[in-house]
């Protein structure tokens, strides 16, 4: 008998050692705009795995899985088990609803440039989540995007930068940096004009400076509204010959130098800078940059390990104190809990009454992951009453459990 046990153990160990890690989803070299993905795979039943340095076990049927919480840009997933390692390379891109919205069946013309620069962290959207590509760019925005695109060493602040750029302004370090480098000039000794729009003429001049281009000696006038002797003509034509700027109309040779440049036009211009081009190529290359430092986060849905109701039987017309207790599994390295709620509609209560683990209001011990709620209830009719508890983490992932109260006559 003992010999048979050893034989069985031997073959189990061999099976685990020789089992192949299979990953069904997501595929390697996958690009997504989502914040999370589900990892799904198979290994030896019950065998141990390390996914991004966190211990997991395959289920009895060999399946394993968890949520992948992606950061902007390149993400690495490492799955190790039985001496084997499989890696996934995932690219999390950043976009905006108003850039994805289709007009006449087409998405925004600058969508690609906006997506790449946003993913690189060079440009940002508005607090409501949109980009507003047609809005004019302010001088403060342009200074910030320019400093980030050129990877300029950000200078420290010892005081207010300008009267309209106090040191508390989040763009202040970037404004001071571009002024210190000579790439942008303030409007006066006291004002930078941080919230003022910047013109297409100005950005052409700044682009030529930042890219280190020599002003062309002979101008070949192309734009009707930028004559050879016009203000800012040389930088505009230098930038145009270098491929940094183009006109505003494919059918007419017009540059519109005095108009405020839009956010979409600015993203397109900055995407043509050498440093931005390098960043875009690096981002698009799945063969480099996926180092152990790029491991993405992991998450699993909250688990309710027990949900009890005491008493679970009561009589019509008799007042009872119901004690509801929900115990949640420790979260460990996963996303913390946000709230625990319970649906009390079956007994005339709220659909999302909150339960607490704070040692008060009926909860016995604070911080023990047992959430409590005491409820006075006087039933008026017989039957089963359903209570559903929902545990939600800070990503919005949910775990649920159900308990029943039986009312008798």
Predicted confidence at residue 361, as pLDDT, reads: 77
Give residues with Cβ within 8 angstroms of 213, minimum separation 6: 238, 239, 242
Domain 301-408, CATH 2.60.40.10 — does that match? yes
| pLDDT number for residue 8 | 39
pLDDT of residue 3: 52
Cα–Cα distance, 371 to 362 (Å, whole number) = 10
pTM for the model:
0.85
Neighbouring residues of 397: CB distance < 8 A, sequence distance ≥ 6? 67, 299, 300, 301, 302, 335
Domain covering 2-93 assigned CATH 3.40.50.150 in the classification: no
In whole angstroms, what is the distance from residue 181 CA to residue 102 CA?
A: 40
Q: For residue 358, what pLDDT is reported?
A: 93
Beta bridge partners of 77: 88
Q: In what order do the strands lie in the sheet with 30-32?
A: 30-32, 84-92, 73-81, 48-51, 54-57
Query: How high does pLDDT run on average in the chain?
Result: 92
Q: Check residue 294 and report its DSSP letter.
A: G
Whether 162 and 139 have beta carbons less than 8 Å apart is answered as no
pLDDT (average), residues 343-355: 94
Query: Using one digit for the tens of pLDDT, what is the confidence trace for 290-335?
Result: 999 999 999 999 999 999 999 999 999 999 999 999 999 999 999 9
- Side by side, which strands form the sheet with 36-42? 22-25, 36-42, 63-69, 297-299
List phi, psi (to 5°) of 344.
-110, 15
pLDDT tens digits, 355-383: 999 998 788 999 999 999 999 999 999 99
Interatomic CA distance for residues 63 and 68, integer angstroms = 16
Note the maximum CA span of the chain.
101
Categorise residue 116: left if φ over 0, alpha if ψ from -120 to 50, beta otherwise: alpha
Range picked from 42-56, 103-117, 204-218 for highest mean pLDDT: 42-56
Give pLDDT tens digits for 211-259: 999 998 788 888 999 988 878 899 999 999 999 999 998 889 999 999 9
9 has pLDDT over 60: no
Backbone angles phi, psi at 18, to 5 degrees: -95, -5
DSSP secondary structure string for all residues of 376-389: EE---S-EEEEEEE
State pLDDT tens for residues 249-267. Answer: 888 999 999 999 999 999 9
Euclidean distance between CA atoms 53 and 222, whole angstroms: 59
Res 243: pLDDT? 92
pLDDT for residue 17 is more than 60 = no
CB proximity list for 324: less than 8 A, separation 6 or greater: 307, 308, 309, 342, 355, 372, 373, 374, 375, 387, 389, 403
- Residue 11's pLDDT is 41
- What does 316-377 look like in DSSP terms, one character per residue? TT--EEEEEEEEE---TTSPPEEEEEEE-GGGT--TTEE-B-SS-TT-SSTTSSEEEEEEEE
Q: Which tokens belong to 123? A: 């440009």
282's tokens: 């690096």
Every domain of the chain with CATH number 2.60.40.10 lies at 2-93, 301-408
Encoded tokens for 367: 């911080």
Is the peptide bond prior to 26 cis by the omega test (within 30 degrees of 0)?
yes
DSSP secondary structure of 99-167 = HHS-BTTB--TTHHHHHHHHHTTSS---TTS---TTSBPBHHHHHHHHHHHTTPPPPP-SS-SBTTB-T
Q: How far is CA 70 from CA 94, 200, 342, in A?
A: 11, 37, 30
Residues 6+ apart with CB under 8 A from 5: none
Radius of gyration over every alpha carbon of the chain, rounded to an integer in angstroms: 31
- pLDDT-derived band of residue 10, with 50, 70 and 90 as boundaries? very low
% the chain with pLDDT above 90: 86
Q: Which residues of 34-55 are buried (b: 16+ CB within 10 A; e: fewer)?
A: eebbebebbbbbebebebbeee
């Amino acid at each position: 008998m003992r010999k048979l046990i050893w034989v069985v153990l031997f073959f189990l160990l061999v099976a685990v050692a020789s089992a192949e890690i299979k990953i069904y989803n997501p595929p390697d070299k996958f690009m997504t705009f989502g914040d999370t993905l589900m990892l799904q795979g198979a290994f030896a039943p019950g065998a141990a795995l390390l996914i991004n340095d966190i211990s997991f076990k395959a289920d009895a049927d060999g399946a394993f899985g968890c949520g992948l919480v992606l950061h902007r840009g390149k993400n690495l997933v490492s799955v190790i088990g039985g001496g084997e390692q499989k890696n996934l390379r995932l690219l999390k891109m950043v976009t905006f609803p108003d850039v994805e919205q289709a007009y006449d069946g087409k998405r925004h013309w600058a969508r690609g440039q906006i997506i790449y620069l946003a993913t690189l962290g060079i440009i940002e959207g508005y607090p409501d989540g949109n980009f507003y590509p047609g809005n004019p760019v302010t001088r403060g925005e342009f200074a910030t995007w320019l400093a980030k695109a050129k990877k300029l060493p950000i200078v420290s602040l010892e005081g207010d930068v300008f009267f309209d750029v106090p040191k508390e302004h989040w763009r202040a370090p970037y404004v001071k940096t571009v002024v210190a480098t000579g790439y942008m000039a303030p409007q006066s000794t006291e004002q930078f004009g941080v919230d003022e729009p910047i013109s297409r003429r100005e950005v052409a001049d700044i682009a030529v400076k930042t890219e280190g281009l020599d002003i062309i000696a002979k101008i070949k006038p192309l734009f009707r509204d930028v004559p050879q002797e016009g203000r800012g003509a040389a930088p505009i034509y230098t930038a145009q010959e270098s491929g940094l700027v183009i006109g505003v109309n494919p059918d007419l040779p017009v540059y519109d130098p005095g108009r405020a440049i839009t956010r979409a036009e600015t993203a397109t211009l900055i995407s043509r800078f050498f440093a931005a081009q390098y960043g875009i190529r690096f981002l698009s290359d799945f063969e480099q940059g996926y180092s152990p430092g790029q491991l993405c986060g992991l998450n699993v849905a909250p688990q309710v390990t027990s949900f009890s109701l005491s008493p679970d039987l009561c009589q019509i017309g008799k007042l009872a104190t119901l004690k509801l207790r929900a115990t949640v599994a420790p979260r460990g390295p996963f996303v913390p809990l946000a709230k625990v709620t319970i649906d009390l509609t079956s007994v005339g209560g709220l659909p999302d009454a909150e339960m607490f683990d704070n040692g008060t209001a009926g909860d016995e011990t604070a911080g023990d992951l047992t959430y409590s709620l005491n409820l006075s209830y006087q039933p008026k009719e017989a039957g089963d009453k359903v209570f559903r508890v929902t545990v939600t983490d800070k990503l919005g992932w949910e775990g649920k459990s159900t308990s029943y109260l039986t009312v008798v006559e």
